[in-house]
Amino acid sequence: MGKIVIRVPATSANLGPGFDSIGVALHLYLTVIVEEKTEKWRVNHALGPDVPNDEQNLIVQSALAVNSKLQPHQLTVMSDIPVSRGLGSSATAIVAGVKIANELGEMDLSLADQISAAAKIKGRPDNVAAALLGDVVVASFDGKDATTIKLNMPENLKMLAFIKNEPILASESRQLLPDNLSQKQAVFGSSVANVMVAALATQNWELASHLMERDQFHEAVRAKLAPELPMIRETAHQFGIYGTYLSGAGTTVSTFGTEPQLIVLRQKLMDMDVKGSLRIFDLDRQGATVNAE
């Protein structure tokens, strides 16, 4: 067997009220090249000392979780995705591992099975489903099986991501979440999410973008992680741009818009001297790909 090249897109999850259930794929990638068989797993990368170079690497761990009998190989890993910033870096590693298990183990897993396997490792389906399918994906996971619907974001949309300089672990961010919500708040949050999904499905972006800013599940308690969120949202509103929300665990603030809109917004935020990077991303419509060389 020659080399196998796996490419997995970054993702932004928790689209507004779609907490732990809605994600969108971005034109920003993790690439894994599966090379020759080896006695032990070797993972070559330039991602820093915190990322293991052996079978403790999350990619390998995920592959072995799906198929424990895999022969070790050498992997070369390249990534453009900032780690622990709310852009699905761990989800891309998990999805790459599932793809590796499927290819090397000749498992012939369906996409639905791959999503369920990845969600089981991750513990939730939003990022992994979007990374596997591309575009925007609505997902549910019962602990065993994931159920997904892929929708289409409007063709002219891009995303402006304000990425803070400091990482935060999802596990730390999750500790801020309340164990319980009042029934009134839960029903309202659920209804907003339902209508937002219906708006996306019927291509009513104006309505969807407004509802995207009405989360009831996590933004309020995670506000101290990203105090820039209200400022970015209010600045976007000055230009008639809606669709700003807290991405993933909370150190990235995402805003959807057309490229001309986002260029103007980015310049305004740069003039306001926000502390972090401001990057405009295309959306990935295809999801993870596997190519044999």
DSSP states of 168-210 = --HHHHHTTS-S---HHHHHHHHHHHHHHHHHHHTT-HHHHHH
Show pLDDT as tens, one digit a residue, over the chain (293 residues): 679 999 999 999 888 888 889 999 999 999 999 999 999 999 999 988 889 999 999 999 999 999 999 999 999 999 988 776 668 889 999 999 999 999 999 999 999 999 999 999 999 999 999 999 999 999 999 999 999 999 999 999 999 999 887 665 555 655 666 677 789 877 887 899 999 999 999 999 999 999 999 987 767 777 777 789 999 999 999 999 999 998 876 678 999 999 999 999 999 999 999 888 999 999 999 999 999 87
Clarify whether residues 224 and 176 are in a common domain. yes
Q: What is the pTM of this model?
A: 0.92
Residue indicated by tokens 């209804």: 191
**Which residues are annotated as part of the binding site?**
82-92
Clarify whether residues 100 and 23 are in a common domain. yes
Clarify whether residues 145 and 168 are in a common domain. no
For residue 181, is it left (φ>0), alpha (ψ between -120 and 50) or beta? beta
Clarify whether residues 125 and 164 are in a common domain. no
Q: Are 159 and 256 in contact (CB under 8 A)?
A: yes
Clarify whether residues 193 and 245 are in a common domain. yes
CATH label of the domain that carries residue 67: 3.30.230.10
Clarify whether residues 98 and 176 are in a common domain. no
Clarify whether residues 91 and 223 are in a common domain. no
Clarify whether residues 127 and 182 are in a common domain. no
Which contacts of 150-156 are long-range, i.e. CB under 8 A and separated by 24 or more positions?
Answer: 151/197, 151/200, 151/201, 152/203, 152/285, 153/24, 153/200, 153/256, 153/283, 154/203, 154/205, 156/258, 156/259
| Domain range enclosing 167 | 158-281
Clarify whether residues 140 and 182 are in a common domain. no
Clarify whether residues 66 and 124 are in a common domain. yes
Clarify whether residues 147 and 9 are in a common domain. yes
Clarify whether residues 134 and 26 are in a common domain. yes
**Angstrom distances, CA of residue 111 to CA of 30, 97, 98, 209:** 19, 14, 10, 29
How many structural domains does the chain have?
2
**Which residues are annotated as part of the binding site for ATP?**
82-92
CATH label of the domain that carries residue 255: 3.30.70.890
